[in-house]
Amino acid sequence: MAFVARVKPGALRLRGRWPSQVHAPRRMYSQHPAHHTTPEHPLRVAVIGSGPAGFYTTYKLMAKIQGTKVDMYESLPVPFGLVRFGVAPDHPEVKNCQEKFEEVASSPDFNFIGNVSVGTKSDHPDGLTVPLASLFRHYNAIIFAYGAAQDRKLGIPGEDQLKGVYSAREFVGWYNGLPQHANLNPDLTQGEEAVVIGQGNVALDVARMLLEDVDVLRKTDIAAHALETLSQSRVKRVHVVGRRGPMQAAFTIKEVRELMKLSNVSFQPVDTSLLPPDLKSLPRAPRRLMEMLAKGTTATSQSPSETSKSWSLDFCLTPKAFSPSSSSSPASTQLASTTFERTTLSPSPFDPNAYALPTGETLTLPSSIAFRSIGYKSTPLPEFSDINVPFDERRGIISNDGRGRVQHEERTRGAEMSHGSFPGLYCAGWVKTGPTGVIASTMENAFATADAIIEDWVSRTSFLNLDRKVHGWEGVKSEVLKSGDDKRVVDWQGWRRIDEAERDRGRETGRSREKFTRTGEMLNVLG
């Protein structure tokens, strides 16, 4: 996934000290005085999810509330979430934030609990599951930071019935070695034309992976099975389709530039009537993006007739149906084309907030493979309904006050409805805001959640189990694990052994690492 890192490598470094020994920059934390726990009664926090949101929230908490004990739960044996499984393999610089997370994890007050799902049965046979209710009994605070593991669907004919229609989220996980999608095996040999529906950075990542020279990808940490499949691909033409225009598209200039610079890949001209006539009057970011599209449209260095592959940004098209070939067997289930309805933009194609209106005119694009890329979606943990944790199904987020405090509706004495916070429950990242932004915005999102926790801790309100000492993971283990189960739990040292094994595998083929794509393989490293 195109997490565009705006944080320079080494920024916010801890300079080799534990986070609990570091006072963060005054401008970042000045609104909160330092607050200490006591050795007898430390603040014990469970973080569910080991991606950027979980780690950045942990970083700030441990830096500001000295003595805080954090247990981080992860359903896989390996950490880092979408940094490992979502960032495109040809964007290694975006993964520099892992250095920061390694420093956080080096604290003796941090405990990684890998291969353990919370509330949701593990989706691999070697994983463990602990009930959310048990965490309620053994922590002062629980932070939900488990991200968005589902994607939004189009809801059109053929989406679930035809071979060749894939989720961009699953495709990204597949080429990045996510165990859940190791068996996706997309067939890229059925034809030369592909359609990607959606115009965000993930959509452009998918297009780039389909068009990039495989020899370039061989130098990255892309999954070995993806290299094999991509080396046999017949795809030569990729349509990246959106229902609105360039002024409303979600992609950023970095991703467009990278596609335009691919060797032996040309860019099909865009409809210039959708580009504002006076580009100089636009704010800097949209102006630069529109200028790049205009330049790419008129460039002659790599025309479609001179290259073996090409791509296009197809605007003002709404998907209506996926269809098999009409000339093939009536029972054919292989995708052959995608039908769209043309749209018009109101009130103006140059308004960033313009909305699409149907025209009734349709267009059918040949497509042997298609990817939907219209957004990720978080889902509630199964125990939420039992514990009455509110989840907004429409928005795909845990209901919260905007700063990360989990909220619920309650009736006042006057019979009016108001919002109250659940003691000790917080959320961060995409499960808090929805799937939006880049790593830098996720960091700010996580820091805001940490600020809310710090404020509540200073006032000694809104926490779990303040009347007694709690023991975190040790208490959970004693309550729910059977004899021998703890041998299947992966700690940070276990992750480092897996990490080193992957690097050793990579060195054999001249790559930075070769990932394990099965949890069983990861666990075999640990014996």
Binding-site residue numbers for FAD are: 53, 74, 82, 118, 430, 437-439
Neighbours of 33 (CB within 10 A): 9
pLDDT at residue 460, rounded to an integer: 80
Reply yes or no on whether the pLDDT at 26 is more than 60: no
Map 434-458 to HEC letters. CCCCCHHHHHHHHHHHHHHHHHHHH
Binding-site residue numbers for NADP(+) are: 199-202, 243-244, 255, 437
Neighbours of 214 (CB within 10 A): 16
Reply yes or no on whether the pLDDT at 29 is more than 90: no
What CA–CA distance (Å, rounded) separates 134 from 119?
A: 9
Q: Which residues of 135-155 are buried (b: 16+ CB within 10 A; e: fewer)?
A: bbebbbbbbbbbbbbebbebe
Reply yes or no on whether the pLDDT at 163 is more than 50: yes
What CA–CA distance (Å, rounded) separates 408 from 423?
A: 11
Q: How confident is the model at residue 305 (pLDDT cuts 50, 70, 90)?
A: confident
Q: Where do the H-state alpha helices sit in 241-338?
A: 253-260, 284-298
pLDDT at residue 527, rounded to an integer: 87
**Does the N-terminal peptide bond of residue 52 adopt cis geometry, omega within 30 degrees of 0?**
no
**Per-residue pLDDT averaged across 437-441, rounded?**
88
Q: Where do the H-state alpha helices sit in 244-359?
A: 253-260, 284-298
Contact (CB, 8 A) for 93 and 54: no
What CA–CA distance (Å, rounded) separates 132 from 119?
A: 5
Angstrom CA distances, 523 to 138, 288, 436, 487, 496, stand at: 27, 47, 33, 10, 12
Q: For residue 196, with 0-12 CB atoms within 10 Å meaning exposed, 13-18 middle and 19 or more buried, which class applies?
A: buried
pLDDT at residue 32, rounded to an integer: 37
Site of tokens 């592909």: 194
Q: For residue 77, with 0-12 CB atoms within 10 Å meaning exposed, 13-18 middle and 19 or more buried, which class applies?
A: buried
Percent of the chain residues past pLDDT 90, beyond the cut: 78
Percent of the chain residues past pLDDT 70, beyond the cut: 88
pLDDT at residue 21, rounded to an integer: 33
pLDDT at residue 40, rounded to an integer: 72
What CA–CA distance (Å, rounded) separates 375 from 168?
A: 9
Binding-site residue numbers are: 53, 74, 82, 118, 199-202, 243-244, 255, 430, 437-439
- Fill in the DSSP letter of residue 391: E
Reply yes or no on whether the pLDDT at 22 is more than 60: no
Q: Can you read off the two tokens belonging to residue 458? A: 């200073």
Reply yes or no on whether the pLDDT at 10 is more than 60: no
What CA–CA distance (Å, rounded) separates 303 from 89?
A: 27
Backbone phi and psi for residue 389, each to the nearest 5 degrees, phi listed first: -80, 120
Q: Can you read off the two tokens belonging to residue 247? A: 């002024």
Backbone phi and psi for residue 497, each to the nearest 5 degrees, phi listed first: -70, -40
What CA–CA distance (Å, rounded) separates 514 from 508?
A: 9
pLDDT tens-digit readout, 96-125: 999 999 999 999 999 999 999 998 766 667
pLDDT tens-digit readout, 51-90: 999 999 999 999 999 999 999 999 999 999 999 999 999 9
pLDDT at residue 314, rounded to an integer: 98
Reply yes or no on whether the pLDDT at 462 is more than 90: no
pLDDT tens-digit readout, 228-253: 999 999 999 999 999 999 999 999 99
**Per-residue pLDDT averaged across 162-173, rounded?**
97
Reply yes or no on whether the pLDDT at 319 is more than 90: yes
Contact (CB, 8 A) for 292 and 260: yes
Q: Tell how strand 141-144 and strand 417-427 pair up.
A: parallel
Position with higher pLDDT, 5 vs 387:
387
Q: How confident is the model at residue 436 (pLDDT cuts 50, 70, 90)?
A: confident
Sign, CA dihedral 114-119-123-125, equals positive
Nearest to 189 by CA among 209, 164, 172, 171: 164
pLDDT tens-digit readout, 322-354: 999 876 566 689 999 999 999 999 999 999 999
Q: Name which of 287-291, 419-423, 432-436 the model is least confident about.
A: 419-423
pLDDT at residue 6, rounded to an integer: 35
What CA–CA distance (Å, rounded) separates 463 from 86?
A: 33
